[in-house]
């Protein structure tokens, strides 16, 4: 039973990292449309004042990655032949090859193009999944990376109150994004698409995760 709980908690940790990356990917797609693809585009209006607020979602997701991965760092789940990061890099490599050879979009633009076809979304999911596995196990990739992350933790600990304040602000703003999107979908059914529902759920998870981390004061307790 104990080992099962450890595996569940580790899976939860990787899932939170995956969701943070998903929020970043979704925000990049919306921001690319807002700045480059569509002139005077105001998605989810009138409830969302500006799509530029998705920059705040990116910030919230980035701040969430470190403590999310930290949830599973102290757990000893064992490994099947190799470290988790090995499988993460393998998934990234295979996903990149799949996108290059079997989808109509460029690997560099896959999170910026407006293409919600199944093959493209499949490539996105596996790229994010591979990235989540690597980030969750990043300190084990190399000793120098572990030392650098330890240095970052020390610096973050010195600015813990500032980072916690930023996490509170970005988490609250992300919850506003979720509310605005939900209200817009309720008013205009054309907004209700699978892609938008994925964004909606990811934004909600990111906002709640941010606020929970603030409540638990994770950035004030971080240590190398």
What is the rounded average pLDDT for all residues in the chain?
89
Measured between alpha carbons, how far is 211 from 51 in angstroms, rounded to an integer? 22
Model confidence at 3: pLDDT above 80: no
Tokens of 222: 């971080």
Mean pLDDT of 143-151: 84
pLDDT at 81: 47
pTM above 0.85, yes or no: yes
* φ/ψ (deg, to 5) at 92: -60, -45
**Residue 106: helix, strand or coil by DSSP?**
coil
Looking at the 3D structure of the chain, how many domains does it have?
1
Measured between alpha carbons, how far is 202 from 181 in angstroms, rounded to an integer? 12
Measured between alpha carbons, how far is 64 from 39 in angstroms, rounded to an integer? 32
- The 10 Å Cβ neighbour count of residue 45 is 14
* φ/ψ (deg, to 5) at 35: -90, -30
Confidence at 2, pLDDT banded by 50, 70, 90: low
Q: Tell me which residue range forms the domain holding 141.
A: 2-221
Phi-psi region of 103 (alpha: psi -120 to 50; beta: other; left: phi over 0): beta
Q: What percent of the chain has pLDDT over 70?
A: 92
Measured between alpha carbons, how far is 150 from 99 in angstroms, rounded to an integer? 34
């Amino acid at each position: 039973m104990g080992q099962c709980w450890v595996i569940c908690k580790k899976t939860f940790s990787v899932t939170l990292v995956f969701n943070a990356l998903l929020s970043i990917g979704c925000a990049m797609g919306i921001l690319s449309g807002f700045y480059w693809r569509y002139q005077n585009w105001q998605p989810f209006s009138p409830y969302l004042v500006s799509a530029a607020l998705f920059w705040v979602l990116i910030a919230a997701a980035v701040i969430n990655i470190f403590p999310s991965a930290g949830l599973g760092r102290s757990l000893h789940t064992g490994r099947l032949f190799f470290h988790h990061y090995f499988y993460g890099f393998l998934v990234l490599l295979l996903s990149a090859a799949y996108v290059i050879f079997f989808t109509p979009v460029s690997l560099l633009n896959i999170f910026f193009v407006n293409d919600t076809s199944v093959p493209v979304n499949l490539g996105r999911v596996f790229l994010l999944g591979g990235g989540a596995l690597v980030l969750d196990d990043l300190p084990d990739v190399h000793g120098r990376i572990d030392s650098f992350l330890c240095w970052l933790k020390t610096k973050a600990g010195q600015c813990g109150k500032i980072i916690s304040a930023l996490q509170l602000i970005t988490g609250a703003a992300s919850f506003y994004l979720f509310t605005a999107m939900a209200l817009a979908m309720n008013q205009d059914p054309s907004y209700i698409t699978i892609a938008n529902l994925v964004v909606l759920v990811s934004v909600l998870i990111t906002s709640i995760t941010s606020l929970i981390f603030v409540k638990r004061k994770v950035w004030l307790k971080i240590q190398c």
